[in-house]
Structure 1
Amino acid sequence: MPIDPHLAETLATVVDEGTLEAAARRMHVTPSAVSQRLKQLEQQVGQRLLVRAKPVRPTEAGQAVVRFARRYALLEHETQAALGLEAQGARPRITIAVNADSMATWFLGALAEFTRTRDVQVELLREDQDETERLLTSGAAMAAVTSSPIASPGCAVAPLGSLVYVAAAAPDWWRRWIGDPATARTQQVGADVLARAPRVDFDRSDELQATWLRERGVDPALTPRHFVPSTHDLAVAVEQGIGWAMLLVHQAEPLLETGAVLPLGGQPVTTPLYWQVTRTPSTLLEDLSRSVAEAAQRSLRRPS
């Protein structure tokens, strides 16, 4: 039996909102009506689609139906526009998973270019670049900036370039843990210092500082760390001497020039990024991909 797109849209709304009650409020129907639609949809496909926890979560089959609902809504809107018909319902919504550093630096420029002439709603889901692929697979996102060069099921992938980070710390940090900051340009920071001096991580999934420490022969699991979940505020935390961290080159350069932070040496850490997007014959997604590629070309280290 064909999948009813309107029932599939109900499932996607429930997944978005987290509960049947919240989805019912958004759809202006009763929770009982939402429950009946979900039951009807599960009978159509012959599989369980939703785990009714709090928040609800789609099963693997439910994820496939949610992806279908997202694509159908986009294609329906574009078909109405191509036929010169007045669009029914809300503007289409494109959900994009983006890592925090891209969002804070180059990605919003791509989004500004894209939305300037397109009648569309965009929702950004902030997630680590190693985790954004999961949102594609679940159907929560139609496109993502990821660290994986392997295309997710039903997606196309293209290299964007790389973010480059350098290790830095404030003079106050250097003075406390090493000594005279005047020696920073000539003195190597030893493994013994790095093992006991605090670092700043974005969150618990942040591997940048850990990667750099391992290259210096230090076990990152044994070192103290603070958490600052903001790209901008993390740089401020380093400047204030709270801990050392890997800073984006464009953040670090002006601070290094003024002496607000000092280099810790070692090799920069480079994070390759890739653009993954749902394989749907959509002019909106094609235009979005073009805007993202152009912004990445201007801002990221070119892919090798």
Structure 2
Amino acid sequence: MPSYSLEHLRTLVAVLDEGTFDAAAVRLHVTASAVSQRIKAMEEATGQLLVQRTNPARATAAGESVARYAREVDLLGKDLRRDLGEDGQEQATYSIAVAVNADSLATWFLPALATAHERFGAIFDVHRDDEEYTVSLLRSGTVMAAVTAAEQAVQGCTSSLLGVMRYKAVASPAFLSRWNPRGDLADLDRIPVVDFDRKDELQRDFVRTATGREPSGPRHLIPTSADFARSIVLGLGWGLLPEQQADAHLRAGALVELAPKHPVDVRLYWQRWNLASPLLDGLTHVVREAAAARLRRS
């Protein structure tokens, strides 16, 4: 195995985090030429290309492995300095990279980060992606932990069930009056729907189950959780909302549930590096606390 200096490992992480050699140089307070020389030295030692010189720069398969090693070394070093009392306030500048789906971020996950920041002084680099895709960020070494729908642990990680996020199919009364006055689920495939983004399959899967057909109606794309909910309240289309977002609107009469007997339950898991780290252990504890308070049990 090649031997890398801490300076070189931190440079690789900076390039991948910042996206360019120039931005990495600013972060590290060195020249772009120095960054390029360090990456080249690592690649020569490895015998493989580690960074694709694209915009933004991306890791190769080998680069992902080395980057994960670099982040693990950095995390362990931070834990050690804190245990030895040598870091002062330095831990407050350390960023823990996590991946989470938008609905969790909007409903229960953010308070967990606030608690972790208060208790441990951690700073967070949050990557938002669909719960079906966050696990890929673990595989690449981009993040240290993730909220994901994938139960099977990524190699080098542990996986534990957080709970169940329940979704309800809802629409505004005005929307239903215009597009589906009979309230018939059989028409659901032909009326306007709101999707979060092009990865969002939740509504499409619901239509397939309810009608046995592929969705063919107009499709809005609203890629923020709060605006996604608001667009449904405003009548752009129907959609599936987490019960934490839907229930107040249902009680107020601003939304109507389309299929009260058929909610959609999504099991969420916490996957994290299988690494003994007080910071990562502490984050895991507060995430589980928050999930237990806000998510349904399986």
- Is this a same-fold pair by TM over 0.5? yes
* Whole-Å separation in 2 of the counterparts to 1:116 and 1:190: 47
Partner in structure 1 of residue 227 of structure 2: 233
Q: Is the 8 A contact 1:51 1:57 kept in 2?
A: yes
Please tell me whether residue 35 in structure 1 is matched to residue 30 in structure 2: no
* Whole-Å separation in 2 of the counterparts to 1:89 and 1:9: 16
Q: Is the 8 A contact 2:116 2:122 kept in 1?
A: no
* Whole-Å separation in 1 of the counterparts to 2:226 and 2:214: 23
Q: Is the 8 A contact 1:74 1:93 kept in 2?
A: no
Query: Which of the numbers 280, 290, 293 marks the counterpart of 1:295?
Result: 290
Give the Å deviation of 1:50.
0.9
After superposition, what is the alpha-carbon deviation per residue over 1:75-110, rounded to whole angstroms, capped at 9, x for unaligned?
111211222223697732100001000000000111
SS class of match (1:116) = helix
SS class of match (1:280) = coil
List aligned pairs for 1:181-260, cutoff 5 A.
188-191=183-186, 193-260=187-254
SS class of match (1:176) = helix
After superposition, what is the alpha-carbon deviation per residue over 1:182-210, rounded to whole angstroms, capped at 9, x for unaligned?
xxxxx55142x223210101111111111
Q: Is the 8 A contact 1:4 1:41 kept in 2?
A: no
Please tell me whether residue 74 in structure 1 is matched to residue 68 in structure 2: no
Alpha carbons of structure 1 residues 119 and 255: separation in structure 2 relative to 1, 3 Å: closer
Amino acid at match of 1:141: V
SS class of match (2:119) = coil
Partner in structure 1 of residue 113 of structure 2: 111
After superposition, what is the alpha-carbon deviation per residue over 1:254-276, rounded to whole angstroms, capped at 9, x for unaligned?
22222211121161111110001
Structure 2: stretches of 5+ with no match in the other structure: none
Q: How many residue pairs were aligned?
A: 295
* Whole-Å separation in 2 of the counterparts to 1:39 and 1:178: 62
Give the Å deviation of 1:16.
0.6
Please tell me whether residue 275 in structure 1 is matched to residue 277 in structure 2: no
Q: Is the 8 A contact 1:96 1:144 kept in 2?
A: yes
Alpha carbons of structure 1 residues 297 and 190: separation in structure 2 relative to 1, 3 Å: closer
Q: Is the 8 A contact 2:185 2:258 kept in 1?
A: no
* Whole-Å separation in 2 of the counterparts to 1:119 and 1:272: 30
After superposition, what is the alpha-carbon deviation per residue over 1:141-193, rounded to whole angstroms, capped at 9, x for unaligned?
111001100111211111001110111111111111133xxxxxxx55142x2
* Whole-Å separation in 1 of the counterparts to 2:90 and 2:103: 34
Question: RMSD in angstroms over aligned alpha carbons?
Answer: 1.6
SS class of match (2:132) = coil
* Whole-Å separation in 1 of the counterparts to 2:279 and 2:185: 52
* Whole-Å separation in 2 of the counterparts to 1:204 and 1:276: 24
After superposition, what is the alpha-carbon deviation per residue over 1:265-295, rounded to whole angstroms, capped at 9, x for unaligned?
1611111100011112111100100100111
Alpha carbons of structure 1 residues 29 and 239: separation in structure 2 relative to 1, 3 Å: same
* Whole-Å separation in 1 of the counterparts to 2:290 and 2:90: 31
SS class of match (2:120) = coil
Q: Is the 8 A contact 1:194 1:218 kept in 2?
A: no
Q: Is the 8 A contact 1:99 1:127 kept in 2?
A: yes
Structure 1: stretches of 5+ with no match in the other structure: 180-186
Q: Please, what TM-score do these two structures have when normalized by structure 1?
A: 0.92
List aligned pairs for 1:37-56, cutoff 5 A.
37-56=38-57
Query: Which of the numbers 148, 153, 156 marks the counterpart of 1:154?
Result: 156
Amino acid at match of 1:203: D
Q: Is the 8 A contact 2:189 2:211 kept in 1?
A: no
* Greater mean deviation of Cα atoms: 265-274 or 33-42: 265-274
Amino acid at match of 1:99: N
